[in-house]
Amino acid sequence: MIDNSRSKGTIVVFITGVDGSGKSTLTEWLEQECNRRSLSVNKVWSRFNNYFSKPLLALLRLTGHNYYRQVDGEPFGFHDFEKLGLLRYLFVVLQILDVRIATRLKILSKLGKSDVLICERGPWDTLVDVMGDIAVEDLGESAFGRAFVSQVQGLGHTLLISRDYNAITAIRQELKEDHKMETKIRLYQRLSSTFDWAVINNSGSLDETKQQILNALSLAQGKTS
């Protein structure tokens, strides 16, 4: 159920999924499609919002739990926090504070300022990142998980862009270096069941994927509800 009273007349669309699933391409297309229908659009990208958690991340850099690797000349960040014991949950709490600040500043503040607000990445993606970082796969069903997304749950449409691991790494071979990629794919699927998201299969043709999105948003017949 979409809470239209909270959206202030703005259609909110969250585009979620792992790196390489096609989110950016589909976000660009959806913006163009909305413009074609004379709908004004705002876009938001919200990930890696480290405000309160930054000192802890700096400390964990020193301990070797938070580190970077060079892959094809680009830095890849890794958080291996699964062996931190209860300290994992300090990271969770700080990330909850961070994501709630970012959601207020980047997403909720834009409601009512356009017909459509497209969020490529957002609280859902941060939740998946944290679940993978600390290796607690049922976090999304806990009070911690609900705290990550309570500001946006029921606010609009959440679309999980799904693509097979082999299809992703065939296009972006550097993602083979992400040893948590397959775990993240599984976590997104788990959250999609928990929160009843629309799953958009992006393993076929682009036209088929676009049609799935139009159907999920009830735009196929020109509707926007």
pLDDT mean over 60-73: 87
Q: What is the pLDDT of residue 14?
A: 97
First to last CA, the chain: 11
Q: What is the pLDDT of residue 219?
A: 66
In this prediction the pTM is: 0.90
CA 67 – CA 181 distance, rounded (Å): 16
CA 55 – CA 162 distance, rounded (Å): 34
CA 41 – CA 11 distance, rounded (Å): 9
Q: What is the pLDDT of residue 71?
A: 75
For the cut 80, the answer to whether the pLDDT of residue 110 exceeds it is yes
Tens digit of each residue's pLDDT (9 = 90 or more) over 187-206: 999 999 999 999 999 999 99
Q: What is the pLDDT of residue 221?
A: 45
Q: What is the pLDDT of residue 69?
A: 84
For the cut 60, the answer to whether the pLDDT of residue 47 exceeds it is yes
Mean pLDDT score across all residues of the chain: 91
For the cut 90, the answer to whether the pLDDT of residue 38 exceeds it is yes
| For helices 206-216 and 23-36, angle between their N-to-C axes, nearest 10 degrees | 60
Q: What is the pLDDT of residue 3?
A: 43
Give me the residue spans of the domains in the chain: 4-49+91-216
Q: Tell me the Ramachandran region of residue 94: left when phi exceeds 0, alpha when psi lies from -120 to 50, beta otherwise.
A: alpha
For the cut 80, the answer to whether the pLDDT of residue 166 exceeds it is yes
Topology given in CATH for the domain delimited by 4-49+91-216: Rossmann fold (3.40.50)
Residue of higher predicted confidence among 163 and 7: 163
Exposure class string for 75-84: b at 16+ Cβ within 10 A, else e: eeeebbbeeb
Residue of higher predicted confidence among 2 and 124: 124
Task: Provide, rounded to the nearest whole percent, the portion of the chain with pLDDT above 70.
Answer: 94
Residue 2's pLDDT band (boundaries 50, 70, 90)?
very low
